Structure 1
Amino acid sequence: MLGSDRSDNWRRAFRVELRAEAIGLAFRGWPVLPGTYPVGGHWAGRDGVEDTGPVPVHADWRDRVGTRAEQVATWWTGHPYTLLLATGAGYDAIEVGDDLGRGAARVLRSVGLPVPIIATPEHRWFFLTRSGDELVADLAANADVVHHGEGGWISLPPSPFQHGVVHWRVKPEVCGWQIPSSRVVQDALLDAIQESAGARTRQLVAG
């Protein structure tokens, strides 16, 4: 019983935090949506949907993109829904693994261009960009790189996952809420890939 009360209190507090973040982002014009949330070994919040990750709670979620903050606030009144960002509606994301994410972040810092970066407990990094550009051929052919654009979504902090919480690696405030073009991030990824390949070559030569 005590464990159940503690769990309920945790969910209630987490819901309040998620709701506050959703309202703040919606006021800034971010296309946020509620997503299913982890309970035990499954994702709850949308009947008849079996998934391995969060999906929009509302079947008509595309029609809800751009909803005013006042209405967004009502979506989190009863459940600790994950916080989703609809991509392709002004914002896209480029998803990569840990190693490439760190490398690209290092490249961006070196040229003084920090960009908003999200990380998940599943060791994936998401670089936020403005909508509009597809991946260049070299990145599109890389299995570690995924573009999230029209008709998609990603999880935003502080969304819960089965084994942890989505968090910011670089918060939007650090960038003055400026979202870069996709090409800025793609160039950083290409540089990071080239640097990694160069480092491996030097190791082989030295070895």
Structure 2
Amino acid sequence: MQWTVSRPFVPPALLDLVDRARLRRAALRYAAHGWAVTPGARLVGHRFSCGRPGCPIMACHPALESWEDSAGADPAHVRTWWRHRPYTVLLATGRSFDVLEVPAALGLRVLGTARLHTGVLGVERADARGPVAVTAAGRWMFLVRPGVPLRAELDHRLDVVRHGAGSWVPAAPSRMPEGPVRWAVPPEQAQWWLPDAEVVQNLLVDALGTLPERHVTVPRQMSTARRGA
């Protein structure tokens, strides 16, 4: 006799409610620490839907047309945004922090260096252990203190993106087409502390010298318009 295990049927409305509560809870947690959030289009099948009639954007994008003006950390606004829809959680960059987005091989090398050499390289080199997010597509996002341009060694690379003023990144537990965004180093583990951008960039440049040269393409979720100023 062959046994089969069937999953219980869960009404879509209930799944939507659970998703909405989970995403709202995460957005409120970020906002409670002063991180500006804004609702993003939600993943429906293989494309993102913001609910705006005629919106042609299929990739992840803000759900509000004037998101730069409305993004913030007001808990009342956050609750309102996630009251009816399970929006993706987007973090506005260039305010409390910038984000250095890099390919997985580079991100892994830098995170490993920061962990292994704490107390050996010295404060100016090893104090780089801030929050780090990872997408299922293999993009690593290092949260750093804002306002520092990319070093020349990084600025010419199409696979390294600095998200500063006017940009955003998706935050856990939001879902992308390849899978959910997760924290490699959760903000709680880093005690919501942000490292200096120069420190992380120094480690990135050092790591570049240890990696083989590869053909570089622009990540499909990125656009040149979102490269940090």
Provide the residue aligned with 1:118 in structure 2: 133
Shift in Å at residue 189 of structure 1? Answer: 0.6
8 Å CA contact 1:35–1:82 kept in 2: the answer is yes
Say whether 1:50 aligns with 2:56. Answer: yes
Greater share of strand:
1
**Equivalence map 1:126-205=2 (5 Å):** 126-196=141-211
Tell me the distance in 1 between the aligned counterparts of 2:11 and 2:168: 31
Shift in Å at residue 4 of structure 1? Answer: 7.8
TM-score normalized by the length of structure 2: 0.80
Tell me the distance in 1 between the aligned counterparts of 2:10 and 2:50: 20
8 Å CA contact 2:35–2:73 kept in 1: the answer is no
Provide the residue aligned with 2:87 in structure 1: 81
Secondary structure of 2:90's partner?
strand
Which segment drifts farther, 134-143 or 64-73? 64-73
Gap change, CA 1:120 and 1:52, over 3 Å in 2: farther
8 Å CA contact 2:27–2:37 kept in 1: the answer is yes
Shift in Å at residue 121 of structure 1? Answer: 1.4
Shift in Å at residue 15 of structure 1? Answer: 1.2
| Matched residue count | 197
Provide the residue aligned with 1:98 in structure 2: 104
8 Å CA contact 1:46–1:58 kept in 2: the answer is no
Tell me the distance in 2 between the aligned counterparts of 1:50 and 1:19: 26
Which segment drifts farther, 84-93 or 187-196? 187-196
RMSD (CA atoms): 2.0
8 Å CA contact 1:43–1:50 kept in 2: the answer is no
Shift in Å at residue 52 of structure 1? Answer: 3.9
Structure 2 residues without counterparts, runs of 5 or longer: 1-6, 119-126, 213-229
TM-score normalized by the length of structure 1: 0.88
Gap change, CA 1:73 and 1:96, over 3 Å in 2: same
Provide the residue aligned with 2:69 in structure 1: 63
8 Å CA contact 2:40–2:88 kept in 1: the answer is yes
Provide the residue aligned with 1:18 in structure 2: 23
Structure 1 residues without counterparts, runs of 5 or longer: 198-207
Q: Percent identity?
A: 35
Tell me the distance in 2 between the aligned counterparts of 1:182 and 1:30: 17
